[in-house]
Copies of this chain bind each other. A is one copy, B any other.
Amino acid sequence: MIKALAFDVFGTVVDWRGAVIREGELVAKEKGLRVDWPKFADAWRAGYHPAMDRVRKGKLPWTHIDQLHRMILNDLLKPFGLGGLSEEEIQHLNRAWHRLTPWPDSVPGLNRLRGRYVLATLSNGNVSLLVDMAKNAGLPWDCVLSAELFGHYKPDPEVYQGAARLLGLPPGELMMVAAHPRDLEAAQRVGLKTAYVPRPLEYGLDGRQETGPHAVFDVTAGDFLDLAVKLGA
């Protein structure tokens, strides 16, 4: 009997790549720059997992995603011809992740699911990033949960266990929803239910596909509206 759904956010709820490209194009237009923004978005994202892994392995003290994004961004500015941006412009670009926009089915699907389930984020993004994004995009969360609250990044088990604890639920009454099999497999290992919602365009039309699931998930859905149907919402 599932009571609450915990959503991965980057890639599952929001199209980070499309949004970062669009934010970049706005900068380029204003500043008269020519930048390969798809390549830039992919490079920024490519730094994400290695940066979190440095925290997970104790090579960095707890550092939240805004700070990790900035560390990665600093190394991309010159190679991508952005060396002329002011500190204020760099900060604005770094906060593009606070302004990511949802997949077309995300808001209507969440609004349907919300009638029956408690909806929480369970993201590696920091709380303020998730709050800004939700307010900007109209994501109707009942509760914003983040790796930041637990001092651990997914897929560390503490994150999934912490979410169940804060929601006052046994793990089997909480369902993790994600486009990423590895996230779901880690949730499953500590007893959460799992819903797999592939997002084939996450890395662009020609981008790499996340390798298919190795585990069997409780639900697989084409998008959040399909998920609502399959969960009876």
Which stretch, A38-46, A86-94, A123-131, A209-217, touches the partner chain B? A123-131
Task: Indicate if A53 sits at the interface (CB-CB under 8 A).
Answer: no
Judge if A201 is at the interface, Cβ distance under 8 Å. no
- Within A130-185, the residues touching B (CB, 8 Å) are 131-132, 134-135, 142-144, 148-149, 166-169
Asked if A21 is at the interface of the complex by the 8 Å CB criterion, the answer is no
A112 → chain B closest CB, angstroms: 15
Q: Tell me the bound Cα distance from A149 to B134 in angstroms.
A: 20
Instruction: Name the prevailing secondary structure of the A interface residues.
Output: helix
CA A142 to CA B134, docked complex, whole Å: 8
Interface 0/1 of A70-91, CB less than 8 Å to B: 0000000000000000000000
State how many residues of chain A have any CB contact under 8 Å with chain B. 20
A118 at the interface (CB under 8 A from B): yes
Interface contact B118-A166, CB-CB below 8 Å? no
Can you name 21 A-B pairs with beta carbons within 8 Å?
Answer: A66-B168, A118-B131, A120-B131, A126-B166, A126-B168, A127-B143, A127-B166, A127-B167, A127-B168, A128-B166, A128-B167, A128-B168, A128-B169, A129-B168, A134-B142, A135-B142, A142-B144, A143-B144, A144-B144, A148-B166, A149-B149
